[in-house]
């Protein structure tokens, strides 16, 4: 007996070890799956950052056709629905309420008439006669009530319809007046913009630049004098460029390779050029009164303000520059001024105001600051 108990104990211990081993294997499996998912997310995040930076270099330029926008949009007036069928529907519904009572009263009246005609019993004759007279009175009263109720319901519904139609006509009139006011304001705004009104220009610039934000902080200080804009674009720091290239191995593990300094500098230069060209293309596409402008790629290093590149833009070559393969090619078309060392690191330099301003007084220059993020 003791040996049997010992054998059972051995078997129980062996099963426990198997269960423990199974739990350990399952834990390893889930750890592996979790690790693979983290690797995948890390790789996808790295690729999304690189693709976002590359996407900024896709330039486009299409001037807004303000001539067609000045055409007044016609007012599309809503039509008030025809409610003639509503009254008939209400009339029919109200008549249905009296159908069963009339049928019941009429049926009883016929029964009493039959009894009155065929019966020879005096009591039956008296009862049927009284019943006939009573039911005739009730039927007449019921018909009168039906007529009155139908007339009342129809009048109430007619008044309700008239009030609703009056309210709809009032709303349509207000909508038309609002549409006309908005069209007048829109066309006047376009005319002010075409005439070079500085308030209209700044409002349009703020509208178009904030509608096309960057995935990181970029801002612009825009100064205008004599319809010549000076656009200082505050560029993101170089640290925004990933310093490693991420690739996915066959095992699912991401591998990282350090970028060369020259590659990082070139990518940062391309990013800055693309940002500047995108900003200027939006401004030139929406502000037709700008023929000549200046762009400054600015950087802040602590308290120091540095200019990394500058260029003069003429409307005639902006479109060609925006059709370039990337931002650097666009700056070359614009003959931008910049300096860099052998590793393509941009060297700051002193920048001057547009030469056409001719040392204008600061109070005569209009300024606006726009955040693009």
User: Which stretch of 98-102, 211-215, 264-268 has the lowest confidence by average pLDDT?
Assistant: 98-102
pLDDT tens column, 234-256? 999 988 999 988 888 877 788 88
- Per-residue pLDDT, averaged over 352-369, amounts to 89
303 has pLDDT over 80? no
User: Which stretch of 26-30, 60-64, 124-128, 185-189 has the lowest confidence by average pLDDT?
Assistant: 26-30
CB neighbour list of residue 166: distance below 8 Å, 6 or more residues apart: none
- Per-residue pLDDT, averaged over 26-47, amounts to 78
13 has pLDDT over 60? no
Half-sphere exposure (Cβ direction) of 88: Cα atoms closer than 13 Å: 4
User: Which stretch of 36-45, 97-106, 187-196 has the lowest confidence by average pLDDT?
Assistant: 97-106
- What is the model's pLDDT at position 278? 92
198 has pLDDT over 90? yes
- What is the model's pLDDT at position 136? 77
For residues 73 and 181, is the Cβ–Cβ distance under 8 A?
A: no
Q: What percent of the chain has pLDDT over 70?
A: 87
Q: What is the mean pLDDT of the chain?
A: 83
Cα–Cα distance for residue pair 111/2, rounded to 1 Å: 103
- Per-residue pLDDT, averaged over 88-108, amounts to 75
- What is the model's pLDDT at position 120? 66
* 10: confidence class by pLDDT, cuts 50, 70, 90: very low
* 32: confidence class by pLDDT, cuts 50, 70, 90: low
Cα–Cα distance for residue pair 316/290, rounded to 1 Å: 11
- Please, what is the angle between helix 198-210 and helix 122-194, to 10°? 110
DSSP type of residue 349 = B
- Per-residue pLDDT, averaged over 316-330, amounts to 90
Output 337 or 33, whichever has higher pLDDT.
337
* 9: confidence class by pLDDT, cuts 50, 70, 90: very low
157 has pLDDT over 70? yes
- What is the model's pLDDT at position 369? 93
* 301's tokens: 């290093």
- Per-residue pLDDT, averaged over 68-73, amounts to 89
User: Which stretch of 150-159, 329-338, 340-349 has the lowest confidence by average pLDDT?
Assistant: 150-159
pLDDT tens column, 273-298? 999 999 999 999 999 999 999 999 99
- What is the model's pLDDT at position 19? 54
Question: Which residues sit opposite 233 in a β-bridge?
Answer: 220, 297
Question: Which residues sit opposite 300 in a β-bridge?
Answer: 305
Query: Checking phi first, is residue 141 left (phi over 0); if not, alpha (psi -120 to 50) or beta?
Result: alpha
Report the C-alpha dihedral over residues 31, 37, 38, 40, rounded to 10 degrees: 150
25 has pLDDT over 90? no
- What is the model's pLDDT at position 177? 92
- What is the model's pLDDT at position 262? 93
């Amino acid at each position: 007996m003791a040996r049997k108990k010992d054998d059972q104990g051995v078997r129980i211990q062996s099963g426990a070890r198997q269960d423990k081993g199974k739990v350990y294997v399952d834990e390893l499996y889930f750890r592996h799956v979790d690790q693979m998912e983290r690797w995948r997310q890390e790789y996808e995040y790295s690729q999304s950052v690189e693709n976002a930076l590359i996407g900024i270099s896709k330039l486009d330029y299409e001037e807004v056709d303000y001539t067609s926008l000045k055409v007044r949009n016609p007012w599309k007036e809503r039509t008030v629905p025809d409610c003639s069928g509503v009254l008939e529907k209400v009339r029919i519904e109200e008549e249905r309420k009296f159908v069963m009572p009339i049928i019941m009263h009429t049926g009883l009246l016929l029964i009493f008439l039959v009894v009155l005609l065929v019966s020879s019993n005096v009591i039956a004759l008296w009862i049927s006669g009284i019943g006939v007279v009573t039911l005739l009175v009730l039927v007449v009263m019921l018909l009168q009530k039906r007529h009155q109720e139908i007339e009342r319901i129809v009048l109430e519904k007619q008044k309700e319809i008239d009030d609703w139609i009056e309210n709809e006509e009032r709303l349509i009139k207000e909508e038309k007046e609002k549409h006309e006011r908005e069209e007048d304001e829109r066309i006047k705004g376009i005319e002010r913009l075409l005439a070079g009104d500085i308030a209209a220009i700044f409002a349009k610039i703020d509208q178009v630049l904030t509608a096309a934000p960057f995935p990181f902080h970029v801002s612009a200080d825009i100064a205008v004098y004599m319809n010549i804009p000076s656009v200082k674009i505050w560029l993101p720091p170089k640290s925004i460029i990933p310093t490693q290239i991420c690739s996915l191995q066959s095992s699912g593990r991401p591998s990282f390779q350090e970028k060369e300094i020259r590659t990082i500098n070139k990518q940062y230069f391309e990013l800055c050029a693309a940002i500047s060209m995108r900003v200027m293309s939006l401004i030139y596409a929406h502000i037709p009164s700008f023929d000549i402008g200046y762009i400054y790629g600015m950087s802040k290093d602590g308290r120091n303000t540095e200019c990394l590149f500058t260029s003069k833009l003429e409307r005639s070559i902006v479109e060609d520059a925006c059709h370039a393969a990337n931002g650097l090619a666009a700056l070359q078309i614009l003959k931008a001024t910049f300096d860099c060392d052998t590793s393509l690191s941009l060297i700051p330099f002193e920048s001057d105001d547009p030469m056409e301003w001719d040392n204008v007084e600061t109070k005569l220059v209009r300024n606006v600051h726009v955040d693009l993020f």
